[in-house]
Structure 1
Amino acid sequence: MITIRDSRPDDGDRVIEIWRGAVDATHDFLLPEDRLALDEMVCGFLPQAPLWLAVDVKDYPLAFLLIDNGHMEALFVDPRYRGTGLGAALVRHGLALHPEMTTDVNEQNGQAVGFYEKMGFRRTGRSSLDGQGRPYPLIHLRHGD
């Protein structure tokens, strides 16, 4: 059984593990130097960020969601648990709080684009650069009408 709960300060190391595993499994388009720069940035803020965690019966985090003002900034699932419904459960939780939630997804991450479209998100635009100004195009998505 999976439970969704708020993150706590002692979840920080596990959240970084999830992020690293998920990025390494799904973001093979990143240049090694960009992957390292992102890692440094993420380690600086993610452990303290207000996250929603999907945890197992032993309260062990398996996936996380970060929402800021109705915008999904991050959704990452431990690669050992991809395809088990954890990501969808977290997105549904986020949508219950923010029915018209928005997100951005790397265009090169086709599986993620398909996942969000299956969850009812629609494309609203595209940027040729990511949020750090790197050449990784983003697809802008919004849920709802």
Structure 2
Amino acid sequence: MIRQARPEDTDAILDVWLLASLQAHDFVPAAYWWRQQEQMRARYLPSAEVWVCEREGEIQGFIALVGDYLAALFVRPDCQQNGIGKALMTTAKRLRRRLSLRVFSENDVAVHFYRQHGFAVTDESVDPCTGQPELCMGYQGH
């Protein structure tokens, strides 16, 4: 079930974010992700519209939207390949006519996923926090 996040979901959302970030971004030192947890809790999540995928009472993935910006789409590593990302993306597209996002260029799985869902590269840049190259991608609904 996909539903809007509640305050009591925060710890579970952070767990999903950290586990998925460590797995998907092995080209960024793990310490970076551990250090970002408090920023996620205190600043990023409260400023976003967050939706979660809950199955059997457990949060398995989430999206975070800030306006038309898809700030996050993460699925717990042991729950991937079960349609959760697709369901979350469908929710994001239902909520917004257009979407933009940034994704690390080296995150091939995510880049492929976004392309499959109609996103196209609009620009390239370097993430100022990690120094990693990233793609800016956009989606325009019908």
TM-score (normalizing by structure 2): 0.89
Q: In 2, are the aligned partners of 1:13 and 1:47 still within 8 Å (CA)?
A: no
**Residue correspondence of structure 1 range 105-144 to structure 2 within 5 A:** 105-128=103-126, 130=127, 132-144=128-140
1:51/1:66 contact within 8 Å kept: yes
The question of whether the paired residues in 2 share the 8 Å contact of 1:63 and 1:86 is answered with: yes
Higher-strand-fraction structure: 2
The Cα offsets for residues 21-55 of structure 1, whole Å up to 9 and x where unpaired, read as 10111110112442333233223335645310011
Where does residue 78 of structure 2 map in the other structure?
Answer: 80
Distance (whole Å) between structure 1 residues aligned to residue 44 and residue 4 of structure 2: 13
What TM-score do you get using the length of structure 1 for normalisation?
0.87
Change (3 A) 1:36 1:17: closer
Q: Aligned pairs, how many? A: 140
**Is residue 9 of structure 2 the alignment partner of residue 8 of structure 1?**
no
Amino acid at match of 1:140: C
Q: Percent of counterpart pairs with the same letter?
A: 26
Query: Are positions 1:54 and 2:50 aligned together?
Result: no
Could you list the per-position Cα deviations for residues 37-94 of structure 1 after superposition, in whole angstroms to 9, with x for gaps in the alignment? 32332233356453100111x3321100001111100011011111111011111111
Q: Which runs of 5+ in 2 are unaligned?
A: none
